[in-house]
Amino acid sequence: MHTQPIARSLAALLLLAGCATAPTTPTVSRPADTVALSNALNRITWGVNNTTYQQAEKMGYERWLDQQLRPGPAVLPAAAQAQIDALTISQKSMPQLVEELENQRRDYDKAMADDEAKKAAQRAYQQELNRLAKEAATRSLLRDLYSPNQLQEQMTWFWMNHFNVHQGKANLRVLVSDYEDTAIRPHALGKFRDLLSATLHHPAMIRYLDNEQNAANRINENYAREIMELHTMGVDSGYTQNDVQQLARILTGVGVNLTDKMPNVRKDKQEQYVRKGLFEFNPNRHDYGDKVFLGQTVKGRGLAEVNEALDRLCRHPATARYVSRKLAIYFVADEPPQPLVERMAAQFQATDGDIAAVLRVMFTSPEFTQSLGSKFKDPVHYVVSAVRLTYDDKIILNTSPMLNWLNRMAEPLYGRQTPDGYPLTQSGWASPGQMTTRFEIAKAIGSGAAGLFKSEGTQPVEKPAFPQLANALYYQSLQKSLAPATRQALEQAASPQEWNTLFLSSPELMNR
């Protein structure tokens, strides 16, 4: 056996992977050749695999990119869709789930005299919240793995991170699935203004950033501050603390109603009351005074003030620059080239915030092509891309191992406590501990012992699927991008399992 050489090879690869900052693949100018095509797909999708490569090769890269930027309805493989359809979040609406859980919470609050029984009821309530949050994460991962609309799924994650909410607050665990599915995904490649508005009207965002506590004469600035600092203009973009205060006044009355009862709105304002699902605009709580926001007067008139403020924010040049730069950090480089950001920002303004149009400028730029293979994968990218590459169109039966890996690497879905979202740069994820965990994940996937093909429950089903990484895609394209040290390590593998582990641990597989 080659135990010692393999150990040395793994150590060397881990060291290289941890400090890899430069492209590990040849710089190419056309996505028509095999390496360039797989590199471009690896960046625009959740990770290249044989099926995606063959589709893009057959269609032609330009046509494939057009389809990703303006996708139709996603049709997932039947086995993956069946898993999604079986989830409670697919069968019940968010208001229905919230009502059921609120009834459960109220029942144990009111009726339980016995402490042990009350504790048991509280545990059951928390467990149900946890189960629903896990369902949301499961659905998200299944779409990342198998949706043909790969760019839409990447952008859904990007915007979920940009408009971050933390599932651990209040009852957000029952809200995150709908937040992702109705506020984020439908607008992920549409107009930024529509996306911002959808997040503002969703109870997950309102509750997370405390705007339900924001009322006339009792101002809460949390949401207003984050809209300006994190969602639109960005810090140091010229707005003032007074602008934050004025936006908070504009947002008074925007809240959540978890009951089926309408508040007792005073007669002269009843026409201004708005209720859509769990979203509520309550005129009783709104500050109807005039405001001066970003240098212009906003007449006090209710919810229409919010729309005026959003228009102003979305059309501000600082928002175009801030959003464009963040997209470029995610897709191009930790320090993106300023000329590229400026061209993207110009397109943002010219198209009134058309996200797909801005992405097209980026994806067709020389800066994007030159960066391929050099963007370090955060944990979600590493886990999803490894499973996509390893198992291609074989549908996993259990996402729990993937969710556990993300927990271990400190990037669980919906788990970022602060509103800034997870870091998008290498420095946040390239520690020695992170790299060691990646090797352990590579070993679990590469040996076929990850548990991805064994379902949960009282009667688990298991359909073993041994990984086949040395496939047509590898020999046609991926092999050509490997550094000599990686090839040498692979040549020393004593078994297919070790070969898989080494390949999934390589510096090249840490980048996209």
Residue 348 has pLDDT above 90, yes or no: yes
Cα–Cα distance measured from residue 434 to residue 481, given in angstroms and rounded to the nearest whole number: 24
Residue 233 has pLDDT above 50, yes or no: yes
Cα–Cα distance measured from residue 226 to residue 419, given in angstroms and rounded to the nearest whole number: 7
H or E, element range at 38: helix 34-44
Of the listed ranges 114-118, 145-149, 167-171, 372-376, the one predicted with least confidence: 114-118
pLDDT band at 372 (very low <50, low <70, confident <90, very high): very high
CB distance 510 to 501 below 8 Å: no
pLDDT band at 32 (very low <50, low <70, confident <90, very high): low
pLDDT band at 333 (very low <50, low <70, confident <90, very high): very high
* Average pLDDT score over the chain: 93
Question: C-alpha distances in angstroms, 336 versus 39, 371, 391?
Answer: 18, 10, 33
pLDDT band at 28 (very low <50, low <70, confident <90, very high): very low
Q: What angle do CA 98, 104, 108 make, to 5 degrees?
A: 145
Cα–Cα distance measured from residue 400 to residue 402, given in angstroms and rounded to the nearest whole number: 5
The 3-state secondary structure of 376-422 reads: ECCHHHHHHHHHHHHHCCCCCCCCHHHHHHHHHCCCCCCCCCCCCCC
CB distance 216 to 243 below 8 Å: no
Residue 222 has pLDDT above 70, yes or no: yes
Cα–Cα distance measured from residue 139 to residue 316, given in angstroms and rounded to the nearest whole number: 35
Query: Any idea where the domains of the chain sit in the sequence?
Result: 3-69+374-510, 78-223+253-299, 317-371
pLDDT band at 9 (very low <50, low <70, confident <90, very high): low
Coil, strand or helix: which one is 354? strand
pLDDT > 70: what percent of the chain?
A: 93
CB distance 55 to 500 below 8 Å: no
- Say which residue the tokens 């991170």 belong to: 161
pLDDT band at 468 (very low <50, low <70, confident <90, very high): confident
Q: What angle do CA 341, 344, 346 make, to 5 degrees?
A: 110
Identify the CA nearest to 485 among candidates 504, 511, 507.
507
pLDDT of residue 56: 97
pLDDT band at 1 (very low <50, low <70, confident <90, very high): very low
pLDDT band at 298 (very low <50, low <70, confident <90, very high): very high
Q: What is the mean pLDDT of residues 211-233?
A: 98
Six-digit token pair at 296? 């212009």
Identify the CA nearest to 2 among candidates 508, 506, 490, 509.
490
Residue 393 has pLDDT above 60, yes or no: yes
pLDDT of residue 24: 42
- Look at 226 and 465; give whichever has higher pLDDT: 226
Question: C-alpha distances in angstroms, 313 versus 205, 222, 224, 356?
Answer: 18, 17, 12, 19
Q: What is the pLDDT of residues 100-113, one digit of tens each?
A: 999 988 877 765 66
pLDDT of residue 118: 82
Residue 240 has pLDDT above 90, yes or no: yes
Of the listed ranges 106-115, 244-253, 463-472, the one predicted with least confidence: 106-115
Residue 11 has pLDDT above 70, yes or no: no
Cα–Cα distance measured from residue 236 to residue 361, given in angstroms and rounded to the nearest whole number: 26
CB distance 252 to 246 below 8 Å: no
Residue 51 has pLDDT above 80, yes or no: yes
- Helices first, then strands: H and E counts in the chain: 26, 5
Cα–Cα distance measured from residue 299 to residue 288, given in angstroms and rounded to the nearest whole number: 8
Cα–Cα distance measured from residue 359 to residue 330, given in angstroms and rounded to the nearest whole number: 11
Residue 25 has pLDDT above 80, yes or no: no
